[in-house]
Amino acid sequence: MGGEMGTFFRNSIAVALSASALVACQSLKATKPTPAPATEKAEYGTYGLATDFFDRSVRPGDDFFRHAAGTWLKTTPIPDDRSYFGIDTLIADRAEGDLREIAEAAAGGTAAPGSNERKVGDFYASYMDVAAIEARGLAPVKPALDAIAAIKTPQDLARAFASANESFGAAPFGLYIDSDAKNPDAYAVYLVQAGLGMPDRDYYLKREKAYEDYRASYRAYVEQLLTLGGVAYARPRAESILALETRMARAHWPAEESRDAEKTYNPITIAGLSGEAPGFAWASFAKAAGIDGGAMIVASQKSAVPKLAKIVDYTDIEVWKAYLTFHTLDQAAPFLPKAFDDANFAFRGKTLGGRSVQRDRWKRAVRLLDAQIGEAFGQAYVAKRFPPSARALALDLVANAKRALSGMIAEAAWFDPATKTAARAKLDAMGAKIGYPDTWRDYSALAIARDDLFGNMVRALSFEYRRNIAKLGKPIDRGEWYMTPQTVNAYNDFGKNEIVFTAAILQPPYFDPRADAAVNYGEAGAVIGHEISHGFDDQGRKFDARGKLEEWWTPKDAAAYSVQANKLVAQFNAYEPLPGLHINGQLTLGENIADLAGLAIAYRAYRLSLGGIEAPVRDGLSGDQRFFLAYAQSWIGQRREAAQRQQILSDPHSPEEYRVNGIVRNFDPWYAAFNVQPGDRLYLKPEERVRLW
């Protein structure tokens, strides 16, 4: 894959944005289309675009998503073991296959004791040994349940909540460590609302029948697990747990408020929490959590904290013990005997996810290892799939894409000179990580036993928690990754002002060395542009070149930006993927902005790469048409209704269909490419289109 990847970068994109190309963009001249030269067949179609996915009975201007992918959507059922299935799933499946080969080879037991390979193999073997799991029964989790049963005081309860953050269980307050948004050279403790057993507060508070059904199913699941765990009076205890979590849900902030970088920055100390949120043993909680009493804490949902503390204080301790018992069993269920695992899947997989069949055990095993010791696993994956040469060429690609956005910033008429200067400084300072970490995580302190799955999980969870707590007081580790190399994804870290692309996402169809340039720009270019532009979305724009949460826009420019952003919010608020359930335009705003800006960056890069000469026609399609069709096909995917409901309520990403239709209708070149006219369903008047760049 590495050699092919290098060819792709060199021939397809890396030369796109030279200084001469930037000049050429100012005077692009249309020329008579020329026939396309023959190319080596790409993985999809002959040149990267799957024309057999099209539904030509659907007009592009009426539903571009289905025009580009309607046949695939109609003929490709979601597998029984999945809630979602799409193009990116196919990439993930390939990665899973690679990981299985690595894990099964490591499970042979010949690797040196203590090596990463041995840890991977032993962890995998412990998960696959179903007979041993059944034979142990509840014995592995009994010490945790006994500790819960021994809780007597508010201080004991606070310590149990701290333990739940480190291992199995749940607590009203979650903890994580990240750079201090106001001081990006130091770490801070972030305190967040937590503790719900269903995906979002709306599952507890909405009155429609669908949510009443979810609550009834959840109550039954809680009772079932308590019964399996040998807890007396399971039914009334299940009722009390649901009632408790409903009170907690009322205290929680809605998801859209929790993504506001300014509202969620509320620094405080443990002593301050004791004064502002009485009723909870904060000192006991902090000490058990490994947090020094003077540590900087950022209370993300500030007004929720005192409400949750009051709920802790007013709720009978026996109810909290039942709550902790259930959540410990719930989170431990996949590592306990089959009755627990089946009950967990029936609620979380079937009811919440819409799946009818559990995934093969080996697939669950490799995903478990990915989550728990991902870099030990990933090192072997990278050696198999991603050589350093591809990484170097990818870094060149990112640099060229940044030049495209720099040109767009320069041309933004609504930007004041001071804001333009600061925006370019941020863009120039934006780092990029490609493929895999420069320094791999050290797992030498983590003990993995071939015959102890439950213990492996407890130790792995504690290892990761303590690794993060140990960051406090130390310099920022700018080499750290928050995704494993085998994850098919990418991200923008506001606090470090950097973008990150994993090795696994650098595969066809997103990256295909044999694909047409228009296709590669529509897919890979849009992904890269998306992540770069996150640094300038509605929240990312609040962080400066150092990654500090600090205003650097003039009031006029910020107001002009907000006008366009609010138009995008209103557009997405109007979309109704499920009857009575609309997209939350404010929750999804950052991703919608990045989709629109990313498409614009990729399109500019593509046009620059042509050097003023029109692209050849393929299958009767112009270069621009292939670009947009490739963008649409990169979002091919569909979800079961239950999974889509969960996504709409809690996920900042819009459903795939709207990441296509809701974006292209705001982009003038798409109209020209497909002759979209008034009367077409996606048509927006020019003045109604969102124009951020």
Domain range summary for the chain, segments of one domain joined by +: 2-27+55-94+365-439+479-688, 138-336
Q: Does the pLDDT at position 19 exceed 80?
A: no
Among the listed residues 462, 434, 499, 503, the one whose alpha carbon sits nearest the alpha carbon of residue 373? 462
Q: Residue 307 above 60 pLDDT?
A: yes
CATH class entry, domain 138-336:
mainly alpha
Tell me if 545 sits within 8 A of 426, measured CB to CB.
Answer: yes
- Ranking 20-34, 109-123, 552-566 by mean pLDDT, the lowest is 20-34
What pTM did the predictor assign? 0.92
Over the stretch 250-286, which tens digit does the pLDDT of each residue have?
A: 999 999 999 999 999 999 999 999 999 999 999 999 9
d(CA 636, CA 187): 39
Per the CB < 8 A criterion, the answer to whether 592 and 665 are in contact is no
- Which of 418, 643, 412, 442 lies closest to 551, judged by CA? 418
Determine the length of the chain.
693
> Which residue from 440, 386, 328, 364 is spatially nearest to 123, judged by alpha carbons?
364
pLDDT band per the 50, 70, 90 thresholds, residue 37: very low
* Average confidence (pLDDT) over 234-263: 98
What are residue 617's phi and psi, to 5 degrees? Answer: -90, 135
The pLDDT score that the predictor gives to residue 643 is 97
CB 177 within 8 A of CB 190: yes
pLDDT for residue 393: 67
Residue 194: HSE in the Cβ half-sphere, 13 Å Cα cutoff = 18
Q: Rounded to whole angstroms, how far apart are CA atoms 412 and 132?
A: 64
Alpha-carbon distance of 212 to 229, in angstroms, equals 26
479-491 per-position pLDDT tens digit: 999 999 999 999 9
Q: What is the pLDDT of residue 40?
A: 72
pLDDT at 397: 73
CB atoms near residue 459 (< 10 Å): 18
For position 391, what pLDDT does the model report? Answer: 78
Q: What is the pLDDT of residues 514-568, one digit of tens each?
A: 889 899 899 988 999 999 999 999 999 999 999 999 999 999 999 999 999 999 9
Is the separation of the CB atoms in 497 and 426 below 8 Å? yes
**Cis status of the peptide bond prior to 509, with omega within 30 of 0:** yes
330-374 confidence digits (pLDDT tens): 999 999 999 999 999 999 999 999 999 999 999 999 999 999 999
Q: Flag whether pLDDT at 494 surpasses 90.
A: yes
- Is the Cα dihedral 125, 127, 128, 129 positive or negative? positive
Residue 186 phi, psi dihedral angles, 5° rounding? -135, 155
Helix and strand totals (H; E) in the chain: 28, 9
Mean pLDDT confidence for 292-304: 92
The mean pLDDT of the chain is: 92
**Six-digit token pair at 244?**
């408790």
Does residue 662 contact residue 688 with C-beta atoms inside 8 Å?
Answer: no
pLDDT tens readout for residues 453-474: 999 999 999 999 999 999 999 9
Q: What is the mean pLDDT of residues 87-111?
A: 93
26 versus 376: the higher-pLDDT residue is 376
Write the pLDDT tens digit of every residue in 335-345: 999 999 999 99
Q: Name the more confident of 629 and 39.
A: 629
In degrees to the nearest 10, what's the CA dihedral of 191, 193, 195, 200?
-140
* Category of 180 on φ-ψ map: left (φ > 0), alpha (ψ -120 to 50) or beta: beta
Q: Shortest CA distance to 399 belongs to which of 26, 2, 14, 693? A: 14
Kindly state the average pLDDT of the residues 28-54: 66
- CATH 3.30.200.20 corresponds to the domain 2-27+55-94+365-439+479-688: no
CA dist 299 → 180, 209, 305 (Å): 12, 34, 8
**Above pLDDT 70, what percent of the chain?**
94
Helix axes 361-385, 453-469, angle to 10 degrees: 50
- pLDDT at residue 10 tops 60: no
pLDDT at 36 over 60: no
Q: Residue 213 is encoded by which pair of tokens?
A: 């059904």
Res. 2: pLDDT tops 50: no
**Residue 5 token pair:** 């990847």
195-221: pLDDT as tens digits: 999 999 999 999 999 999 999 999 999
On whether the CB atoms of residues 431 and 498 are closer than 8 A, the answer is yes
